Amino acid sequence: MNRKAIVIKCLKAAFIGIVLLLLYAPILLLAVYSFIDTDIIGTSGGFTFDHYTDLFTNAQAMTMIGNTLGLAFASAALSTVLGTLGAIGMYYSKKRVRTTMGAVSRIPIINAEIVTALALAIMFVAFGLPKTYFTLLMGHMVICTPFVVLSVMPKLKQMDNSLYEAALDLGASPAKALFKVILPQIVPGIISGFMLAITLSLDDYIVTVYTRPSGFDTISTYVFNATIRGNAHTAQTLSSFWALTTIIFIIILIVTISANLAGRRKKEVRK
């Protein structure tokens, strides 16, 4: 390898490294300060777990974390069922029905979130529906379900259709053939749809604000209000978010790494 090629290689690695460093700088900064006894980043202090104990002893914060997780699991589970059935139904419908449903299902994906949120909110108010947990759940399902359909659809297309026919010929009822033949083949799509739905719901701010019942906070709305509106009672609440960010980051790292390891093990077994 000549010198020019080595220089180019180093430049490429340096570029990737700098972008990654910028990407992780804010998170690492909070992770470091989550263990330092100060409420202002940049000032010094001793080692402490206070930010973590502040977080776990703040009843409001614990409620909003519970709310966020509960809502994410509920809306992801419902979206997965609705979206999987929807994808199967669409796949076996006439082409015109399939393309129409596909296009409508695409609207919440391409639309600006604020437009989806405003449209839902105005509809609920115009039809006299008070904002409840139900409206919030529907709001989250609107943003999650189309992604489930998008994840399941390709698996249906890859599926071997003759297996279903064979099951019927061998005397299985259509419902049994659906559960025993079609569903097992599309499970990877269902799982990735469910995971996607969970992350979308966990991440959402805008739709939540427009459809939630009053007094219901998720991580997104709670943190936004605390930082912008100054609703935080003390600087303690703000610095406990450093701990929350760090915990979430560590959980994500563990999940990513273990998913990666599991994937590699599977590949090795297949070899």
Residue list 171-230, contact with another protein (CB under 8 A): 173-175, 178, 182, 192, 196, 199, 202-206, 210, 219-221, 223-224, 227-228
Query: What's the closest the beta carbon of residue 218 comes to another protein, in angstroms?
Result: 9
The stretch among 45-53, 54-62, 169-177 that binds another protein (CB under 8 A) is 169-177
Query: What's the closest the beta carbon of residue 250 comes to another protein, in angstroms?
Result: 10
Output the CA angle 111-117-120, nearest 5 degrees: 110
Residue type, 166: A
CB-CB contact of 90 with 145 (8 Å): no
Residue 202: phi and psi, rounded to 5, are: -60, -35
**Residue 122 binds to another protein (criterion: CB under 8 A):** yes
Query: What's the closest the beta carbon of residue 248 comes to another protein, in angstroms?
Result: 5
Beta bridge partners of 36: 47
**Residue 249 binds to another protein (criterion: CB under 8 A):** yes
Among residues 23 and 49, whose Cβ is nearest to another protein?
Answer: 23
| DSSP, res 129 | P
Q: Which of residues 134-153 bind another protein (CB under 8 A)?
A: 138, 141-142, 145, 147, 149-151
Query: What's the closest the beta carbon of residue 156 comes to another protein, in angstroms?
Result: 10
Binding residues for another protein, total number by CB under 8 A: 94
**Residue 261 binds to another protein (criterion: CB under 8 A):** no
Among residues 40 and 48, whose Cβ is nearest to another protein?
Answer: 40
**Residue 1 binds to another protein (criterion: CB under 8 A):** no
Among residues 50 and 240, whose Cβ is nearest to another protein?
Answer: 240
Q: Which of residues 48-107 bind another protein (CB under 8 A)?
A: 68, 82-83, 85-93, 97-99, 101-107
Q: What gap in Å lies between CA 178 and CA 220, rounded to an integer?
A: 39
Among residues 50 and 207, whose Cβ is nearest to another protein?
Answer: 207
Q: Which of 75, 68, 116 is nearest to 216 (CA)?
A: 68
C-alpha distances in Å from residue 260, one per residue of 251, 256, 257, 263, 265: 14, 6, 5, 5, 9
Q: What gap in Å lies between CA 21 and CA 48, rounded to an integer?
A: 26
Residue from 25, 166, 187, 235 touching another protein (CB under 8 A): that is: 25
- CA pseudo-torsion sign 119, 125, 127, 131: positive
- The four Cα atoms 77, 82, 84, 88 give a dihedral, to 10 degrees, of 170
Among residues 54 and 221, whose Cβ is nearest to another protein?
Answer: 221
